[in-house]
Amino acid sequence: MLVPVLAVPVALLLLGALVVVCAEHKLLALARFTCVVIGCASIYVGPFIAISGWRFLGSGSATAVLTMAMIFGGLCLCAATLVLRPRRRIVATAEDVALLVRGLRGPRIGRRTAAEQLAAIGPAAAEAVPALAQALADEEPEVRRAAVRALGAIGPAAWTTVPALRELEQDDDEVLRDLAAAAVWKIARPAPETD
């Protein structure tokens, strides 16, 4: 009779292992779906596990099992919606990129937003590299950070900015230093070998 109490947690652990394997192999849709299944199973099956646990283990243990199942379920649902959400690139035209480049010369919030949108566009925003390089010297830290993220997202096409990014690795702003180091890695990393 103790089998139902142990079977569900073991099944949830196996599903958790499936999530890790799926995430490692870039099967994010399946990993997200599995997280939702684990979360719902933990939340909705938790009371039944608690009742079974109460019969076999006593009332204090049943409450602990229910609480753990609910917390575990909530964490899995959060993982499904936050951690494993797919990152999508924005499809943009040359006119869109040119408009965002003009936005880099506007007010502070506009400059930051323009740089963030160029980061979302990624490698297709390569023609914005000179304007983003100028934004690295902006007086507002948020704009500089967004420009660094955008250059990293653009990747190897932003190779001319590597010296300026290397200088930012010595900046007083710790977040900016970390972003600059990550951007340099994204820009300068070797291309994957193809057979």
Q: Count CB neighbours of 162 within 10 A.
A: 15
Query: Contact, 179 vs 152, CB < 8 A?
Result: yes
Q: How far apart are CA 137 and CA 108, in angstroms?
A: 13
Q: What is the pLDDT of residues 62-93, one digit of tens each?
A: 556 555 665 655 565 555 555 445 555 567 78
Q: Is the pTM of this model over 0.75?
A: no
Q: What is the pLDDT of residues 120-154, one digit of tens each?
A: 888 999 999 999 999 999 999 999 999 999 999 99
Judged by DSSP in three states, 169 sits in coil
Return the domain boundaries, the chain: 3-83, 94-188
Q: How far apart are CA 138 and CA 49, in angstroms?
A: 57
Q: Which pLDDT does position 49 carry in this prediction? A: 58
The mean pLDDT of the chain is 75
CATH of domain 94-188: 1.25.10.10
Give percent of the chain above pLDDT 70: 51
Q: Give the residue from 190, 191, 135 showing the smallest Cα distance to 168.
A: 135
Report which secondary-structure segment, H or E, holds 103: helix 94-103
Is 177 exposed, middle or buried, given 0-12, 13-18 or 19+ CB atoms closer than 10 A? middle
Query: Contact, 156 vs 126, CB < 8 A?
Result: no
Burial 81-119 (b: 16+ CB within 10 A, else e): eeebeeeeeeebeeebbeebbebbeeeeeebbbbbbbbb
Lowest-pLDDT range of 30-44, 100-114, 167-181: 30-44
Q: Count CB neighbours of 12 within 10 A.
A: 21
Question: What average pLDDT does this structure show over 8-27?
Answer: 60
- pLDDT of 94 over the 70 cut: yes
